[in-house]
Structure 1
Amino acid sequence: MSTLKNSVRLVGNLGMDPEVKSFDNNRKLAKISIATNETYKNDKGERITDTQWHNLVLWGVQAKLAEDLLKKGDEIAVEGKLSSRSYVDKDGNKRYMTEVVVNEFLKVGLKKQQ
């Protein structure tokens, strides 16, 4: 049960192509964002879609796979953990960010090629 303490699973669509950085030690970092959608009906019976955006961080082999396989619009399933951090922006303001550090991902939806 200890692996359930900080575990996230999401299925959504990429909002951008992966942004990949390579470091001197041949290690890679990829950043992507995915949108998850939840649909429900309000009191008037109207269909409402609530979209949430999530920032993902992938390291090493997962970053390389993301660089090679993923592009904006792809549907993926991810498993990882939440990570929160703070930083100071260029104007001197302290900012907070929560990201999902991805352990594994799976390309779910395969679009038909034209």
Structure 2
Amino acid sequence: MNKVILCGRLTRDPDVRYSQGETATAVARYTLAVDRRFARRDQQDAQTADFISIIAFGKAGEFAEKYLKKGTKVIVTGRIQTGSYTNMDGRKVYTTDVVAEDQEFAESKNTHSEPMPVPVSVPQSGYVAPPSASAPGFMNIPDYDELPFN
């Protein structure tokens, strides 16, 4: 079985091209930065992410062109595909790519555009003060003297 599931951020906008022929097919290529779960202790300055080449064909390529951009966090499900070609120097170059079968957003659209709410600290007494109306992400709710139910 050849199945890959990755979660990471696009390092650049997808490069989308269309195949020649009777029915043009979208081919999107982009790189996904996937954080490593653990860093080695002896390599403090070592790279903490892997940069995986992704290829999306057809409808998946069109989706990438329309919705994905640099910095977008996505979950990609697909398969590993290896290949090779001879470069201009006459040397054989081996490639490894993930062919995307499914692409999903891994966070909401506004995650980075809105500031995070200010965390409320818990004093030792256990009482938690309500957030102020000016805190981002909260709205001011007026006090009511009478409730419409008992």
**TM-score interval (norm. to shorter):** 0.7 to 0.9
Return the offset for 1:50. 1.7
**Structure 1 segments of 4+ aligned residues over 6 angstroms from their partners:** 46-49
Q: Which runs of 5+ in 1 are unaligned?
A: none
Between structure 1 and structure 2, the one with the greater Rg is: 2
One of 12, 16, 19 as aligned partner of 1:20: 16
Q: Which has the higher contact order (CA 8 A, sep 6+)?
A: 1
Structure 2, unmatched stretches of 5+, are 115-150
Alignment partner, residue 138 of structure 2: none
Question: CA offsets per residue over residues 29-79 of structure 1, 9 Å max, x none?
Answer: 0001001112536558x7976211100000000000000000011100000
Q: Structure 1: which amino acid aligns with 2:98?
A: V
**Aligned equivalent of 2:113:** 113
Please state which structure has a larger fraction of its residues in helix: 1
Change in 2 beyond 3 A, CA 1:17/1:88: same
> 1:61: which partner in 2?
59
1:97 corresponds, among 87, 95, 98, to 95
In 2, Cα distance between equivalents of 1:58 and 1:39: 26
Percent identical among aligned pairs is 26
Q: CA deviation at 1:112?
A: 3.6
Please give the TM-score of this superposition, normalised by the length of structure 2.
0.66
Where is the strand percentage greater, Structure 1 or Structure 2? 1
Post-superposition offset of 1:26: 1.9
Give the length in aligned residue pairs: 109
Residues 47, 96 of structure 1: alpha-carbon distance in 2 compared, 3 angstrom cutoff: closer
C-alpha spacing 1:89/1:113, structure 2 compared with 1 (3 Å): same
User: Which residue does 1:51 correspond to in 2?
Assistant: 49
Q: What's the counterpart of residue 135 of structure 2?
A: none
Q: Distance in 2 between matches of 1:41 and 1:55?
A: 22
Give me the CA root mean square deviation. Answer: 2.1
Q: Is the 8 A contact 2:32 2:54 kept in 1?
A: yes
